[in-house]
């Protein structure tokens, strides 16, 4: 019987093959109390497991083939960093010493604590980092149980067993989740796509899938329970649908779509280094969003003409109280700048706070229970200004990286003119400190992220001080509509097509252009082809997105005449249903 399973489309294309079903490899945890005289021994077991997993991960990283995506090595580094994170290991030792829990029980208890903290985070990218903690704990539990290192990873073992049964048939992986450390096996295997029960659009499995350009559907909930070993499976990575045991007609239809998709990918690949110029000669800047210096080569390879958003908070997260110093930050920023070979790099100052807490923050700063909304708390630039020493340290590191290439500073969540004054005072102080120390630094442009309605309404005033602005559409939608994206009860109301949202975006772009200042969009809208024509009609000429989206957006850009688009902009913005109005106009080929 044919069934359909629905999830989130995270990597385009169609994959067809027999299912390799990999059950969750989480180890059953024993629960018992450790006598006082065995506590040190139990902590030694934990330390030994940590060292064993670290060795395993380092070996996996060392054995990465040259063609492996940069994201994979970076994700292995994340897991290595988590292994030594005070919030995990030191706190687990506390459970052993204070509660006399055995190592497995202590790890599980601390995982529950951390999982709750991640679930309360507002940022979807950081919230989904909970999966990294879970995968690291799973490896530690396997090591404690004597399983790690004695057998191949579950994905590889399952693939081998399945190949013996399926012969030459293509294979797709079905699992509860796929750990980044196992992605090397995935890369070398015969899998043509994968389905996971959990995950989101910004989960690591989704990121790696996009970097490998492999069709994938995540968050399919019951997929691993409903799909049986050796079932024929179709993965529709465009629609987020998984079809199990399709009929012959459906199977042939998807095989045709698969061939068409492969041809389309080949055509898009040829556009990678084609200049993004509209039919009427407007040059459009397509930039990349990155999280770490190692992402820079991938951005160049995708055809990006710079980095429009370097999320510097990646350097600060999951480190316990050991935050990166000026030198460590400088080396990271310089590596990204040098990798871009003269192209611009926009570094966003650290975006942490009540919803993305650092371990060094005080309990008062972290307190967001009892109905308080962390999205409205001490975060982003508010937190940076409350930690002036840390803020100036980051500014000095960015300024120093500016001596090695074109660097821009982007400040998140600016909403007050008083914040603008304090930002530039901090910059002046950072420059003075570098002068006093005899340190070289370069010129930098300074921009503000427009993420709250107040900023969009005050953008003319902001532009008297800032060199450019960048629209963070994800937060702008959330704050404009008063919708918590993490709350499933209202998530369906999160609407990027809402007229109020579009009017704020159009206003920001128009004001920036009138002021002769730069303006870009770095939220999800930038990488969504459904919005490309509308944003171009508004006058946007700079888009920043995940590198994997650049070719498809470039294809849209090359096919449009911005003058004809702009002539119908007011008609779309005045509509109660802008998406329907745009679709209707597009169906008429944007008549004169």
Low-confidence ranges of the chain (pLDDT < 50): 25, 147-166, 181, 184, 187-188, 354-355, 359, 362-371, 488, 591-592
Please say if 498 is a catalytic residue: no
Question: To 10 degrees, the CA torsion angle through 256, 262, 266, 272?
Answer: 120
Contact 175, 194 (CB under 8 A): yes
**CB proximity list for 591: less than 8 A, separation 6 or greater:** none
Q: How many whole angstroms separate alpha carbon 299 and alpha carbon 508? A: 27
Distance CA 22, CA 189 (A): 14
CA distance 91 to 111: 10
- The annotation status of 359 as a binding-site residue, yes or no, is no
Q: What residues contact 353, with CB distance under 8 A and at least 6 apart? A: 365, 374, 377, 378, 379, 380, 382, 383
Closest CA to 311 of 291, 293, 335, 281: 291
Q: Are 280 and 526 in contact (CB under 8 A)?
A: no
* pLDDT recorded at residue 84: 84
Sequence-distant (6+) residues with CB within 8 A of 495 are 477, 481, 501
Question: So what's the pLDDT on residue 331?
Answer: 96
Phi/psi for 575 (5° steps) reads: -75, 150
Which of 290, 112, 127, 294 lies closest to 203 in space, CA to CA? 127
> Any binding-site annotation on 431?
no
The reply, when asked if residue 311 is annotated as ligand binding, is yes
320: left (phi over 0), alpha (psi -120 to 50) or beta: left
The model's pLDDT over 41-86, given as tens digits with 9 standing for 90+, comes to 999 999 999 999 999 888 888 887 777 777 778 888 888 888 888 7
Burial string for 309-333 (b: 16+ CB within 10 Å, else e) reads bbbbbbbbbbbbeebbebeebbebb
CA–CA separation, 88 and 439 (whole Å): 37
Output the pLDDT for position 182: 55
259 labelled as ligand-binding?
no
Q: Which residues touch 337 (CB under 8 Å, ≥6 apart)?
A: 345, 401, 402, 404, 405, 406, 407
The rounded distance, in Å, linking the Cα atoms of 218 and 41 is 40
- Those residues whose C-beta lies under 8 Å from the C-beta of residue 130, and which sit 6 or more positions away, are 114, 115, 118, 119
Over 102-119, what HEC string results?
CHHHHHHHHHHHHHHHHH
Q: Considering 79, 204, 368, 546, which one is annotated as catalytic?
A: 204
Give the chain's domains with CATH numbers: 3-24+151-247 (3.50.30.10), 36-144 (1.10.274.10), 264-277+470-592 (3.20.20.60), 285-450 (3.20.20.60)
Contact 76, 181 (CB under 8 A): yes
Whole-angstrom CA distances from 585 to 105, 220, 449, 534 are: 60, 35, 31, 11
Q: Is 204 a catalytic residue?
A: yes
Q: Which one of the listed residues 79, 368, 511, 522 is annotated catalytic?
A: 522
- Nearest CA to 155 out of 134, 186, 193 is that of 186
The Cα–Cα gap between 201 and 218 comes to: 8
Distance of CA 492 to the CA centre of its chain: 21
Would the annotation count 188 as a binding residue?
Answer: no
- In a 13 Å sphere around the CA of 308, the CA atoms on its Cβ side amount to 30
Q: Is 421 annotated as a binding-site member?
A: no
Which residues sit opposite 218 in a β-bridge?
8
């Amino acid at each position: 019987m044919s069934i359909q399973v629905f999830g989130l489309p995270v990597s385009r294309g169609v994959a067809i093959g027999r299912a390799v079903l990999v059950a969750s490899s989480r180890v059953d945890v024993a629960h018992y109390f450790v006598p006082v005289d065995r506590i040190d021994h139990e902590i030694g077991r934990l330390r030994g497991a940590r060292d064993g997993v670290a060795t395993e991960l380092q070996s996996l990283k060392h054995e990465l083939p040259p063609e492996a995506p940069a994201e994979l090595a970076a994700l292995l580094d994340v897991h290595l960093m988590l292994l030594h994170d005070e919030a995990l290991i030191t706190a687990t030792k506390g459970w052993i010493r204070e509660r006399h829990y055995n190592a497995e029980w202590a790890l599980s208890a601390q995982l529950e604590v951390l999982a709750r903290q991640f679930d309360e985070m507002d940022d979807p990218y950081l919230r989904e980092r909970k999966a990294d903690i879970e995968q690291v704990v799973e490896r530690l539990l396997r090591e404690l149980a004597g399983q790690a290192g004695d057998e191949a990873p579950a994905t590889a073992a399952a693939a081998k067993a399945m190949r013996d049964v399926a012969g030459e048939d293509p294979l797709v992986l079905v699992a509860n989740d796929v750990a980044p450390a196992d992605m090397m096996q995935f890369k070398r295997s015969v899998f043509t796509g994968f389905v996971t029960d959990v995950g989101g659009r910004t989960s690591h499995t989704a990121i790696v899938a996009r970097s490998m350009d492999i069709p994938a559907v995540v968050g399919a909930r019951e997929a691993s329970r409903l799909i049986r070993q050796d079932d024929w499976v179709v993965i529709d990575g465009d629609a987020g649908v998984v079809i199990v045991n399709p009929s012959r007609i459906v199977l042939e239809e998807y095989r045709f779509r698969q061939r068409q998709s492969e041809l389309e990918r080949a055509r898009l690949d040829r556009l990678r280094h084609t200049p993004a110029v509209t039919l009427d000669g407007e040059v459009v800047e397509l930039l990349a969003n990155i999280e770490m210096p190692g992402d820079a080569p991938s951005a160049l390879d995708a055809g990006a003409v710079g980095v429009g958003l370097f999320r510097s908070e990646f350097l600060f997260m999951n480190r316990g109280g050991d935050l990166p110093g000026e030198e460590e930050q400088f080396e990271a920023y310089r590596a990204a700048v040098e990798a871009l070979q003269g192209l611009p790099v926009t570094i966003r100052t650290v975006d942490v706070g009540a919803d993305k807490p650092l371990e060094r923050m005080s309990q008062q700063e972290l307190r967001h229970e009892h109905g308080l909304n962390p999205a409205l708390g001490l975060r982003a630039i508010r937190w940076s200004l409350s930690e002036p020493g840390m803020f100036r340290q980051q500014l000095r590191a960015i300024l120093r990286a500016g001596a090695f290439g074109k660097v821009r500073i982007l400040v998140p969540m600016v909403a007050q003119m008083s914040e603008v004054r304090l930002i530039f005072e901090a910059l002046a102080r950072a420059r003075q400190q570098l002068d006093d120390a005899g340190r070289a630094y370069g010129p930098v442009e300074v921009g503000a992220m427009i993420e709250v309605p107040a900023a969009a309404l005050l953008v003319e005033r902001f532009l008297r001080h800032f060199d450019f602005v960048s629209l963070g559409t994800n937060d702008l939608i959330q704050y404009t509509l008063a919708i918590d994206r993490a709350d499933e009860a209202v998530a369906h109301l999160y609407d990027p097509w809402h007229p109020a949202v579009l009017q704020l975006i159009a206003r920001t772009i128009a004001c920036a252009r009138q002021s002769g200042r730069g303006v870009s969009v770095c939220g999800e809208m930038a990488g969504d082809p459904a919005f490309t024509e509308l944003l171009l009609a508004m006058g946007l000429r700079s888009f920043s997105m995940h590198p994997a989206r650049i070719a498809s957006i470039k294809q849209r850009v090359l096919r449009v005449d911005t003058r004809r688009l702009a002539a119908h902009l007011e008609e779309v913005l005045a509509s109660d249903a802008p998406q329907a109005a745009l679709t209707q106009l597009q169906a008429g080929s944007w008549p004169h």
